[in-house]
């Protein structure tokens, strides 16, 4: 007897839509079609979309910076993710200066173990590069860590030089990993910030003025050029603007394997949000900064036409009270929550006609699963795949508000937004973990996923 059958739903995958029932045995989808026999548990999905669980490949759970700590740990953060329809995350494991990659990964494994309720993997952030680290890096894909992250900004913290980038791209090409890049010219940003501070310009809006589009697009173009020199693929995280899109398009014209992601907040906020009164602007301090309405429109279009491949949350849940609530823009920790809102907000692109529901599934689940070595287990409702399933109600409406969300952090950027299309029920590897929008699973049910190597 099957463990779970989902009946009467409309199965929505990236590649198409079909009316079919789904049979689950244990953790796996074993049947897809009609006339599936009875099961221990049956769910009626009439009127609902049956979609693969969301995959969020850009999160910062349980992260600390000097003086700051995210509100979300791996339990609260993944509970929030699950309530928003996401069943797998890939979080950034940060190598601190002087640390081996092994030490860094052990720390992140300990943060997640016994807490995460979604499945999870880690990208490794490379800060120190030397012969030992290079050797360690080469060994990581065999351990299921198949993506590396580099920062071109945040000098004296994570920022790396072009030589380190080339060495990392070389390892990635040889070992089948994907290098993700935070593309901003860190020296330029620091210089512009110094000038603003010297002139006494400390208001929150200066965050946008000191990291203008060219700071991002120059670094985007350089990252792509370095990847090209190494013959490696490159994944640009949190792309925000038309200028940077142009750099991506130029790279593709030269046949560089460039993939680009944007994040939920860039699809809804603009730099004007930084000027909100009563410190509210501080909530919108995230990096790269929010841009103009025109850039926002270009991002939606680019999700529709394929220039952008993924929407991630870049969840960094610095609390407003006590951490982000500051007047001096240089002191506000960069980043904002969004792990729970990501799929709901991105789905508004379907309502607005920017893309169809299959493309929605592609950018929030299938593409990130394929790019980061989680497919074919994740990213599709298919026989043989993990039973990671979201029952999505395309007609359900609500207004996003802090009190209704499940995250631990004390605000949402999307407060007051009217939305249509909500997750109703979420299944992770065969287990129902969200019902009627509420988490009902056990703490620690998530599992570390050894990801496969990058293949285009």
Name the minimum Å distance from CB 182 to Mn ion: 4
Which residues ranging from 67 to 96 are in contact with Mn ion (CB under 5 A)? Answer: none
Strand partners, 12: 17
Q: Which is nearer to Mn ion, 182 or 211 (CB)?
A: 182
Phi, psi at 302, each rounded to 5°: -70, -25
Name the minimum Å distance from CB 281 to Mn ion: 19
Which residues ranging from 226 to 265 are in contact with Mn ion (CB under 5 A)? Answer: none
Question: In Å, what is the CA distance from 286 to each residue of 255, 265, 293, 307, 414?
Answer: 31, 9, 17, 23, 14
Question: Is-contact 412 445, C-beta < 8 A?
Answer: no
Q: Is 184 in the site for Mn ion (CB under 5 A)?
A: no
Q: Which is nearer to Mn ion, 295 or 388 (CB)?
A: 295
Question: Is-contact 89 81, C-beta < 8 A?
Answer: yes
Which among 385, 448, 395 has a CA at the least distance from the CA of 421?
395
Judged by CB under 5 A, the stretch of 119-127, 155-163, 306-314, 395-403 that binds Mn ion is 306-314
| Parallel, antiparallel or unpaired: strands 178-182 and 147-151 | parallel
Chain position whose Cβ is nearest to Mn ion:
182
Q: Is 292 exposed, middle or buried (0-12, 13-18, 19+ CB in 10 A)?
A: middle
CA–CA distance, 344 with 423 (Å, rounded to integer): 8
Q: Is 314 in the site for Mn ion (CB under 5 A)?
A: yes
Q: Which is nearer to Mn ion, 18 or 330 (CB)?
A: 330
Name the minimum Å distance from CB 106 to Mn ion: 22
Interface mask toward Mn ion for 138-177; x: CB under 5 A: ----------------------------------------
Q: E strand or H helix at 178, and its extent? A: strand 178-182
Q: Which is nearer to Mn ion, 216 or 314 (CB)?
A: 314
Q: Which is nearer to Mn ion, 295 or 314 (CB)?
A: 314
Q: Is 182 in the site for Mn ion (CB under 5 A)?
A: yes
Q: Which is nearer to Mn ion, 170 or 314 (CB)?
A: 314
Report the 10 Å Cβ neighbour count for 320.
17
Name the minimum Å distance from CB 29 to Mn ion: 32
Total residues at interface with Mn ion (CB under 5 A): 2
Which among 41, 55, 114 has a CA at the least distance from the CA of 85?
55
Which residues ranging from 397 to 416 are in contact with Mn ion (CB under 5 A)? Answer: none
Question: Is-contact 172 229, C-beta < 8 A?
Answer: no
Residue position matching structure tokens 């290079």: 134
Q: Which is nearer to Mn ion, 6 or 180 (CB)?
A: 180
Q: Which is nearer to Mn ion, 287 or 365 (CB)?
A: 287
- For residue 182, the SS3 value is strand
Name the minimum Å distance from CB 167 to Mn ion: 21
Name the minimum Å distance from CB 183 to Mn ion: 9
Q: Is 211 in the site for Mn ion (CB under 5 A)?
A: no
Judged by CB under 5 A, the stretch of 299-307, 309-317, 403-411, 437-445 that binds Mn ion is 309-317
CA–CA distance, 297 with 284 (Å, rounded to integer): 18
CA–CA distance, 5 with 387 (Å, rounded to integer): 11
Name the minimum Å distance from CB 158 to Mn ion: 9
Q: Which is nearer to Mn ion, 22 or 71 (CB)?
A: 71
Question: In Å, what is the CA distance from 436 to each residue of 326, 351, 385, 403?
Answer: 37, 22, 24, 16
Judged by CB under 5 A, the stretch of 126-134, 209-217, 262-270, 311-319 that binds Mn ion is 311-319
Q: E strand or H helix at 16, and its extent? A: strand 16-19
Q: Which is nearer to Mn ion, 211 or 359 (CB)?
A: 211
Judged by CB under 5 A, the stretch of 139-147, 158-166, 180-188, 202-210 that binds Mn ion is 180-188
Would the CA dihedral through 374, 378, 383, 388 be positive or negative? Answer: positive
Which residues ranging from 266 to 305 are in contact with Mn ion (CB under 5 A)? Answer: none
Would you tell me which residues interact with Mn ion (CB under 5 A)? 182, 314
């Amino acid at each position: 007897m099957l463990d779970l059958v989902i009946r009467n739903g409309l199965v929505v995958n990236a590649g198409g839509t079909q009316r079919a029932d789904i049979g689950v045995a244990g953790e796996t989808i074993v049947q897809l079609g009609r006339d599936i026999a009875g099961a221990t548990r049956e769910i009626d999905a009439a009127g609902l979309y049956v979609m693969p669980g969301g995959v969020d490949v850009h999160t910062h759970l349980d992260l600390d910076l000097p003086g700051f700590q995210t509100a979300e740990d791996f339990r609260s953060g993944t509970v929030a993710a699950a309530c928003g329809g996401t069943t797998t995350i890939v979080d950034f494991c940060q190598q601190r200066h002087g640390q081996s990659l092994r030490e860094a990964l052990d720390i992140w494994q300990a943060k997640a173990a016994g807490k995460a309720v979604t499945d999870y993997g880690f990208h490794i952030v490379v800060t120190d590069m030397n012969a030992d680290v290079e050797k360690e890096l080469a060994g990581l894909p065999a351990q299921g860590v198949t993506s590396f992250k580099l920062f071109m900004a945040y000098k004296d913290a994570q920022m790396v030089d072009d030589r380190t980038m080339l060495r990392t791209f070389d390892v990635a090409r040889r070992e089948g990993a994907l290098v993700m890049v935070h593309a901003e010219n860190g020296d330029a940003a620091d210089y512009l910030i110094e000038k603003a501070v010297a002139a006494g310009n400390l208001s929150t809006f200066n965050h946008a003025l000191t990291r203008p589009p060219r700071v991002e697009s120059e670094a985007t173009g350089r990252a792509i050029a370095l990847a090209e020199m190494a013959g490696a693929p490159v994944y640009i995280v949190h792309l925000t603007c038309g200028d940077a899109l142009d750099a991506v398009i130029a790279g593709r014209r030269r046949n560089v394997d460039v993939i680009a992601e944007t994040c939920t907040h860039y699809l809804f906020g603009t730099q004007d949000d930084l000027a909100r009164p009563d410190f509210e602007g501080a909530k919108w301090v995230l990096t790269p900064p929010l841009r103009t309405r025109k850039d926002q429109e270009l991002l939606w279009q680019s999700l529709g036409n394929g220039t952008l491949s993924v929407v991630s949350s870049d969840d960094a849940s610095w609390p407003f009270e006590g951490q982000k609530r500051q007047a001096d823009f240089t002191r506000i920790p960069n980043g904002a929550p969004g792990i729970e809102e990501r799929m709901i907000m991105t789905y508004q692109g379907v309502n607005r006609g920017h893309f169809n529901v299959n493309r929605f599934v592609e950018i929030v689940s299938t593409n990130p699963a394929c790019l980061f070595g989680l497919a074919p287990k994740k990213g599709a409702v298919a026989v043989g795949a993990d039973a990671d399933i979201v029952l999505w109600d395309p007609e359900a409406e609500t207004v996003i508000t802090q009190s209704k969300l499940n995250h631990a952090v004390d605000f949402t950027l999307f407060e007051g937004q009217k939305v249509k299309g909500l997750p109703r029920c979420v299944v992770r590897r065969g287990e129902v973990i969200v019902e009627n929008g509420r988490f009902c699973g056990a703490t620690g049910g998530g599992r570390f996923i050894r990801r496969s190597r990058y293949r285009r």
